[in-house]
């Protein structure tokens, strides 16, 4: 249940009420307070007269649901808005990992030269093997921050576990929660307390319900800027790295109010089909795409097989633009 309290209820009083009623959160913009709980199904007597509106839900999809808010939430990334009525499809690009100043500098120039705004690059890599490149850590974050300053770009980078969540929050404009970290309570709760957008990737073995519940931790903790990212799930198929769940995207668009970004790079795992997949994604009228590109993929330290060359990235952008326009969206 979600309770929207009267504006006359002050923050301290709202906190006390939430505590008393075992509700999980109070948040929100200025004077508007929401209390969310799955245990409370009726307005408690003590709250009579203090509640403006209430919603009861059959399951734990609450703040993220279209029943609670019909319109897709607006999320601001720098000067750009996605969701709401924006009809923007943000194209985020850059390497899998930040590897050197030279490499990230070239990547930033690519993004800038295409009129795009947001650069990706991992610094804490959630690798499957301890013997693979683990990322540059703080040094990488500083390189990203330098790109932000020099090129006026927004930057997105991933948090691998709760030990460095504060560092990532400090140095990036969008916090990416990686697929393997989707269930990390430390990360989810830390990201709930900040005022920056969070891109939550779907765990590759997670159901849509679990995915949205993870988003609810962030929303219910007080951060309403959550973006869902479908990046492929594991199926019986082994020829491709994962299977991009476009049915899941249709479901999320129908039932949730969160902007949706798609990641065809990690789903397919090979650069040969990324452009075609990106066209299919954009045709669904989505809020964004995140695509890996490297100045020289043959020497990339992670995800070498799937990163586009910069020429391929430029060609991909030109190819998806008319598709986005045909469904009333624009690539930004
Ligand atoms: C990445 O974006 O480079 C990454 C590791 O993604 P995922 O968490 O989806 O595997
Ligand atoms: Mn990657």
Q: Domain-by-domain residue ranges, the chain? A: 2-55, 75-331
Which residues have CB under 6 Å of ligand 1?
A: 96, 122, 126, 158, 178-180, 201, 231, 266
Give the tokens for residue 303: 């995800």
Specify the 3-state DSSP secondary structure of 127: coil
pLDDT in tens, 21-73: 766 666 655 567 888 877 778 888 878 888 998 998 888 899 999 999 999 99
pLDDT in tens, 190-234: 999 999 999 999 999 999 999 999 999 999 888 999 999 999 999
Contact partners, residue 157, CB within 8 Å, separation at least 6: 98, 120, 121, 122, 123, 124, 140, 141, 144, 168, 171, 172, 175, 176
pLDDT in tens, 245-292: 999 999 999 999 999 999 999 999 999 999 999 999 999 999 999 999
- Distance of CA 129 from the midpoint of ligand 1 (Å): 14
Q: Given ligand 1 and candidates 136, 201, 265, which is best to mutate, with the most ligand atoms within 8 Å of its CB?
A: 201
Q: Which residues surround ligand 2, an ion (CB under 5 A)?
A: 96, 303
Residues 226/198, Cβ–Cβ less than 8 Å? yes
pLDDT in tens, 293-318: 999 999 999 999 999 999 999 999 99
**C-alpha to C-alpha distance for 18 and 27, rounded to whole angstroms:** 10
Report which protein residue has its CA nearest ligand 1's atom 3: 96
- Distance of CA 325 from the midpoint of ligand 1 (Å): 28
pLDDT of residue 131: 94
Q: What size, in residues, is the chain? A: 332
Give the tokens for residue 186: 């430390």
Superfamily of domain 75-331: Aldolase class I (3.20.20.70)
232 Cα nearest atom in ligand 1: 9
Report which protein residue has its CA nearest ligand 1's atom 9: 179
């Amino acid at each position: 249940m979600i309770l929207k309290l009267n504006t006359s209820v002050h923050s301290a009083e709202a906190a006390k009420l939430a505590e008393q009623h075992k509700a999980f959160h109070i948040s929100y913009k200025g004077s508007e307070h929401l209390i969310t709980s799955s245990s409370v199904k009726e307005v408690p007597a003590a709250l009579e007269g203090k509640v403006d509106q209430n919603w009861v839900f059959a399951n734990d999809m609450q703040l993220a649901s279209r029943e609670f808010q019909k319109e897709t939430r607006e999320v601001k990334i720098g000067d750009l808005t996605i969701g709401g009525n924006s009809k923007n499809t943000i194209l985020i690009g850059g390497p899998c990992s930040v590897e050197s100043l030279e490499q990230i500098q070239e990547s930033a120039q690519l993004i800038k030269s295409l009129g795009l705004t947001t650069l990706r690059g991992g610094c804490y890599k959630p690798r499957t093997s301890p013997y693979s490149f683990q990322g540059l850590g703080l040094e990488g974050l500083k390189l990203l921050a330098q790109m932000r300053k020099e090129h006026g770009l927004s930057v997105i980078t991933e948090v691998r576990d709760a030990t460095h969540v504060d560092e990532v929050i400090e140095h990036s404009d969008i916090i990416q929660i990686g697929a393997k970290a989707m269930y990390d309570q430390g990360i989810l709760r830390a990201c709930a307390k900040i005022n920056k957008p969070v891109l939550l990737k779907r765990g590759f073995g997670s159901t849509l319900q679990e995915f949205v519940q993870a988003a609810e931790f962030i929303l219910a903790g007080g951060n309403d800027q959550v973006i869902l990212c479908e990046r492929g799930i594991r199926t019986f198929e082994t020829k491709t790295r994962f299977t991009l769940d476009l049915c899941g995207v249709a479901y999320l668009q129908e039932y949730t109010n969160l902007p949706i970004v798609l990641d065809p790079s990690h789903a397919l795992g090979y650069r040969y089909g990324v452009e075609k997949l990106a066209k299919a994604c954009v045709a669904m009228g989505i809020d964004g795409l995140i695509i890996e590109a490297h100045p020289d993929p043959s020497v990339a330290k992670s995800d070498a097989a799937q990163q586009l060359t910069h020429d391929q990235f430029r060609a991909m952008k030109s190819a998806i633009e008319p598709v986005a326009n045909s469904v009333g969206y624009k690539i930004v």
